[in-house]
A and B are shown apart, each in its own frame.
Chain A
Amino acid sequence: MAMVHTGGPRDGIELHVQRLPPPAGHPAAATAVLLHGLLTDSLASYYFTVAPGLAAAGLDVVMYDHRGHGRSRRPATGYQLESFVTDLERLLDRLEITGPVHLVGNCFGGTVAFEYAIRHPERVAGLVAIEAKPATASWATEIDGIFRRMVGELIEHEAESMAWITAHRGAHTARLARSAARLVRATTIARDVPGSRTRGAEQVRSVRCPVLAVYGAESELAGAGEWLESLLPGARSVVLPGQGHSVLAEAPGPLLDLLLWWLLDPGGTPPSPVPGAGLGRGPVAAGADVR
């Protein structure tokens, strides 16, 4: 599958969609919609990590590039969280996916998932947030800080920043950073995302579906799991030892195990990084901290 127009009165948009069906002859156990993060991210982060494993296990997997990202269209304006949520809503309608879906969101993709679950509780069967939190006031402040740092370093001193990234993070990361800089320069995204409407604890509480929140132990977001568990009775958080923010890229194996457990066999034995389930399954989950 390739480009799909979301329709809509004026603000419809063409998005790049990839769908991995379950193996031939197997009816889909459920539909999982995978939502990527901001700026350097695209659906490739799932396509090359957990998506094939989810499809092979019997899920109908839907991935798309958010507006402005990957191979989707890049309008000059319209990057408030609400627009991303509307894109998801219209895309599912366009793909005729009407039943409740499982949303899996990485970073900002998780924020989109929470917002969608607040807006359409009846359309969400479950939510997996990877290194993500809902659009609270503190989220908006943090993301504003990230954009300000980025504009300061990457946009205003692009040559030096790129040289540093190439030397320390490699050519591929530098290429992603360059395309993120293009997105920030060409659009209002750096103003729009932090300016999105935020949600208070009361509204976050209206998320009714089961929530699995996954964080890296070394990530600044790691504390969000406990907060979510205190707020949402249906939430469970998992902290992966030895991991930072890039859980999806760095620990796809343990993450896939977690997703398969949560999506297909929640009554079964959870994989090892879940507290109380023992330690040491899989090379990454066993990480330096556990040894």
Chain B
Amino acid sequence: MTIGEQTAPPVADERSVLADIAGMLRTMLDEYGVDDIEITMQTRFTEDLELESIDLVALAGTLEARYGQHVNFAEFVADLELDEIIDLTVGRLVGHVVRKLRAAEGGS
């Protein structure tokens, strides 16, 4: 996988994962000419960031590049209804990533 700007190894806590994901989202929003947007655990992808579902697919690729295949975004969303995906918050995704990273650390 390509090495992005984030070269430090991932840390399995909420604060660092939020910082990582906020960085990925800023890069993506930058392509749309949107900058200086605050991203918190409560931020919703669609309503607040105006991202389309296809942007979430692209985000999945970036997540995999950063955290490896065990943070399986496709599997995560497969359990969600379409409405839940549209209402998805950054916090819910951060929670998923942290859980997966901890599981991998624990060797389980």
Contacts and interface: CB of A to CB of B under 8 A. Distances in A.
A42 B74 contact: no
Contacts, number: 62
B46 A175 contact: yes
Contact of B52 (A42, A47, A49, A56): A42
B8 interface: no
23 contacts: A16-B58, A18-B61, A42-B53, A42-B54, A45-B53, A47-B53, A47-B74, A47-B77, A48-B80, A48-B82, A48-B85, A49-B82, A52-B74, A52-B75, A55-B74, A65-B54, A71-B57, A172-B52, A172-B86, A175-B46, A176-B52, A249-B82, A252-B82
Interface of A: 1-2, 16, 18, 20, 42-45, 47-49, 51-53, 55-56, 65, 70-71, 170-172, 175-176, 179, 249, 252
A44 B52 contact: yes
B52 A2 contact: no
Given A2-B61, A44-B56, A51-B74, A171 B85 contact: no
User: Could you say which of B52, B56, B58, B61 has the most chain A C-beta atoms within 10 Å of its C-beta?
Assistant: B52
A51 B54 CA distance: 14
Contact of A172 (B46, B57, B60, B74): B46
Given A44-B57, A171-B46, A176-B52, 19 more contacts: A16-B54, A18-B61, A43-B54, A43-B57, A44-B54, A47-B53, A47-B60, A48-B53, A48-B80, A49-B82, A53-B78, A55-B74, A56-B78, A70-B54, A71-B57, A171-B47, A171-B50, A172-B46, A179-B52
A252 B85 CA distance: 14
